[in-house]
Structure 1
Amino acid sequence: MRILVIGRGGREHTLVWALNKSDKVEQIYCAPGNAGIAQIAECVPIQENQFEKLSQFALDYAVDLVVVGPDDPLSEGIVDHMEDRGLPVFGPRANAAIIEGSKVFTKNLLKKYNIPTAAYETFTEYEPAAAYLQTQKAPIVIKADGLAAGKGVIVAATLEEADHALQEIMVQKVFGDAGNQVVIEEFMTGQEMSILAFVDGNTVRPMVPAQDHKPVYDGDKGPNTGGMGTYSPVPHIPQSVVDEAIRTILIPCAEAMVQEGRPFRGVLYAGLMLTEEGPKTIEFNARFGDPETQVVLSRLETDLVDIFLATVEGQLAQIDIQWSEEAAVCVVLASEGYPGPYPKGVPIHGLDEVQECAVFHAGTAMKDGGFVTNGGRVLGVVGKGADIAAARAAAYADAERIRFEGKHMRSDIAMKALM
């Protein structure tokens, strides 16, 4: 088989790595890819939003399956575009990817089908939103409706902070059209958990759960990022709670999308809060998470190609998906200054000194024959072991061996599982 993976980050490197393990795969292309991906696949200089060029490449090179990594092209209809040209694509069509592309759509869907989530109101203008805000209590959550590179959700500690966020989103348009509508949502407390599931419309096949660390500094301090590290399994969360979340949130959501004439096919990613009333939905994504993918696919034992093909063909119920009992921990190495402005082109040393971990490139490039930084999140170091402690020790040992000026990583990834 010839496979084209679309994207350029750590998620896509992990996907290419996992697909490459299949004996069914003859060639993997990645558009546009990154310097790490180029070590195991052929990178193609086509951007994620160049649908016509991507489709033509897939046709010219007789690609048997296209796998879409990022959220933007999914919401913009890349799957529709390619399927209309007869290409098999793993990922949801635009009318289903809206579950990530519009937070207003998703909140209204959850309300309509009685799927647990936080109380909320939606607004299209600043003045009514600001007036409503004064009737609420802090902390409170402000969400831009559309995609905002993972930065469109603000947890405001005071009503003044919340009003400032509303002004930025709705008046100053810091997220552009993504802020044409906002959701004002109650602040939920509890443990967060991510459950990703393969979905082919009616069939929901959950992956092993993972937990992300969003804030940039230890102790969950500082601004949110795309994710500073993950681990799987999540041993301090009982399986009964995971099962409840699947039963009350993921399966009803997939069924609701079918009822709405928007059958979801691909990866449905539920961000969940484990409240005193039970699991509640924070958000849905329409694709693999990053860096959740790095630990989840590290534990997958079934051929990923088989799962993708079954999903595309509506045969997911026929696949037996097996997972390793081993634990996996991913530690993200970030550039100095991230998630704010950061330098690029900083030489990376020590990759050849890594002893036992898989290292997934998120923001790297090649310069003068060596790897350099090319993003905020640079690398994800994934350790595996018999338990979280062993996997964590492996990840940090190899993370220390990798060096670049200004390297930043949290030192407490997966500690919640050991407390």
Structure 2
Amino acid sequence: MDGEEWRKYRTIMNRRLLRHGPLVPHLPALGRVCDSLVDRWASLFASRPVPELERELYRWSTESLGVIVFGCRLGLLGETPNTAEEQQRVADMGRFIESIHGIFKETVNLGTIPPALARSLRLPSWKRFARCLDDALATGHTLVSAALRASKEQKARGEDPDPPTLLDQLLHEDQLEESIILCLLIDLFLAAADTTSHTAIWSLYLLGRHPEVAHRVRQEIVEVTGGTGQVEGHHLASLSYLRGVVKESLRMYPVAPFQTRVLVQDTNLGGYEIPAETMVILSVYRTGRDPTVFPNPDSFSPERWLRSTHDPSTTAPCSISPAPRVIPRVHSHAFIPFGVGIRSCIGRRVAEAELYLLLAKLVARVDLRALNQVDMVLRMVGVTSEPLQLQIELPTSTVTTHHPCRETGC
């Protein structure tokens, strides 16, 4: 969809996803998803690298989005289904995310070939792409249709989900057609799962390479939670150093290193006259490494994002000790990892909340070690040059001394 049709549905999704208020009731459920992942890693992978880290985080990000969209757990993190209905949903969801992941992978492979040519030549990548797309649409239709039926039955009984799910809002409040809801939700899962999981990988890589930064995050958690270490949604606004870690990760390794726009009118850009219909490409990666904007740009320094902090160019990388100078505020358009304007990332608020909760809960309970050094390569998004070997260690003393049983529901 494009033009006015796109604008109509984008406006609806903006109201549901880009405002902070509607997300707040979902923070406890998002936190429980993160708890499940940390529990899983601590029990299965302590003192050794997490196997298939990318897949683990892909399932975490999909599970997180699922509690917002459907209002229930999808069973992607190893939980045992209790009913036949839950077993079927877990199986369907597993097929769905494999198909979505395949679409993303084959889109990368087809990135330099015109789609019409790839289709006419029946290239293997095109065949795999088409198969994954058909599977995703079919399985997605099954999942969404089942959720829609359940929502209607619940409504008929006079019951409303608390908090309201995205699916319920689109169906009952916005009164969208089921076919439109299906398209919107598949697009959302396709766009969100890979990007959020890869951003998490880069954040974990940097924390695993810089234990002094992880230590400061843990100290902040102690202070904000009053020593309990139990990070909840209402704590996030006070975890300013943790938010700086995520911003710094996105600055150094933006998951979308390039952003494109097609000009709708003739434009003067930096003194150059650019005609309408020209594609303009912005290197977010290059902007984030510009030393005139970000002093000492190759150092990982979350402190640069604090309101009053040191200039990273005056101290060693990741130094926590302040230097005399204070860095000027960063220009608002020097840091746009989620894009800007009406076509900016629709899932920004959700992704940020997921990342803050995951990193906080991991750092509070385990030590992180990145065993290998990786570079960034472009595969439609910025990914690691080789699989990250992330090892977790259970420290002798963690932030919290009591870890209550986790709820499995939402």
TM tier relative to shorter chain: under 0.3
TM-score using structure 2 length: 0.26
Bigger relative CO (Cα 8 Å, ≥ 6 apart): 2
More helix by share: 2
More strand by share: 1
